[in-house]
Amino acid sequence: MLSPHVIAAVLWAVILGFAGGILTEIGPWYRNLKKPSWQPPDWLFGPAWTVILGLAGWAAVLSWNGAVDETGRMTVVALFAANFVFHFLWSPLFFTRKRPDWALVEVPFLWASVLALAIGLREFSVLASWLIVPYLAWVSFASILNLVIVRLNRPFGP
C-alpha cells in the first residue's frame, strides 16, 4: 500500500501535468504568434513536462523520507506548495488569458520557486536536489522563450 506522502507527490505531479495540458490550447491565437526558430516542436512539451514533473515528484518522496522531524517535513511541503501555485499560474496567464506578457511577469516567481526546491531539498536528500535540476533548466529555457515571444509579438491586450 502506498503511503500518504507518495500519493501526495504523485497527485502533485499529475495535477500540474494535467492542468498544464488542459490550460494549454494550441489554437489559432498561439499558432499565429511569431516564435523563434529555435523553439522546440509543440509535441515535445508534453513528454518533457511528464519527465520533469515525474522527477520532481520523486524528489518530493526522497525529501520527505529524508526529513527527520515535523519541521523538515513541513519545509518540504511548503517548498512544493509554493512551487505548485507558481507553476499552476503560468499556463492560464499565457494561454487562457492570451497574455504572454503577464506570464513573463510571473516567470521570476516560478523560477525562484524551482530554485528554492533545488536548494532547499538538498538538506533532506542530495539526489532530490539533483532531480530538480532538469526542472530548473527547462523553466530557464522556457523563460527565455517566453521573453522572446513577448518581444516578437507585443503589445498584448487592449
Q: Which domains does the chain have, with CATH numbers?
A: 4-153 (1.20.1260.100)
Residue position matching grid coordinates 538538498: 122
Return the closest-CA partner of residue 20 out of 98, 117, 88, 74.
Answer: 88
Residues 28-45 have pLDDT tens digits of 999 999 999 999 998 999
Instruction: Please give the Cα distance from 31 to 119 (Å, whole number).
Output: 37
Residues 99-119 have pLDDT tens digits of 999 999 999 999 999 999 999
The pTM (predicted TM-score) of the whole model is: 0.92
Collapsing DSSP to helix, strand or coil, 63 comes out as: helix
> In the structure grid, which three cell numbers stand for residue 148, read together?
522572446
